[in-house]
Structure formats: structure tokens, C-alpha cells
Amino acid sequence: MDSLKMHSRNLTEDNIEKIEKLFPNCLTELLDDSGNLKKSIDFDLLRQELSTRIVEGPQERYRLDWPGKREALLVANAPIAKTLRPCREESVDFDTTENLFIEGDISWQSKDDLH
């Protein structure tokens, strides 16, 4: 029997691969915390690639920012090692229902937990 992977896909790495295919010159490499090279995107080059004008810096626009937003985006894109499992004993007509109720707890991860 095949064993299931208990981690979700790494969305950040998937997105970097997609951008690499479209804009290969925007790919760069950075050292991770372990000293290994990891693919990364040069956002200044990407911003210029997607513009019809010279991009000199951030342009004015409406934004919604809050303390911790960048960390929240990092955590949201990080792979997870948790899974949802049905509780048949507490379910009503589990095998024939077309409705699903999910209850769980939320635990916060800091960026330090992602390494």
C-alpha cells in the first residue's frame, strides 16, 4: 500500500517555477538559513518586465497593510503537515450526505517554525 504524503505542496516553490518559465531572466539565487542556494525571484526585474514604462520604485496605490502582514503571507504559503479527518461517530448520515461541517483549532506558526 502506498503511503500518503503528510505535507501539502510548497506553493512558493511552485510559483517561482511558474515565473521562471515565463521570465527566466528574473530568476536569482539566495542562500537559505542552512547556507544552501535556493531559487528566488528578482522582483525589481520582474516589475520592470511587466511594465511598459521605466519602474523606479513603488507607485502610489491603495493598500491594506497591518503589522505582521508579510509574516502572515509567508505562513499562508508554507507547506503544512496537518490533515482533516472525518469523525464518522459524530456525523449524521455520513455515507450519503451532501453537506460537510468542519471544526478544528487554529495554531499560529511563527516564521521560525517554518525552517
Check pLDDT > 90 for residue 22: yes
- 5 domain-assigned: yes
How high is the pLDDT of residue 18? Answer: 96
**What is the domain range of residue 36?**
1-56+74-100
How high is the pLDDT of residue 115? Answer: 46
- 84 domain-assigned: yes
- 87 domain-assigned: yes
> Across residues 62-71, what is the average pLDDT?
76
> Across residues 87-94, what is the average pLDDT?
80
- 41 domain-assigned: yes
Report the domain count for the chain: 1
C-alpha cell at 48: 520592470
- 107 domain-assigned: no
CA distances from 74 to 14, 55, 58, 91, 99 (A): 14, 25, 21, 35, 32
- 111 domain-assigned: no
Strand (E) or helix (H) holding 46: helix 43-49
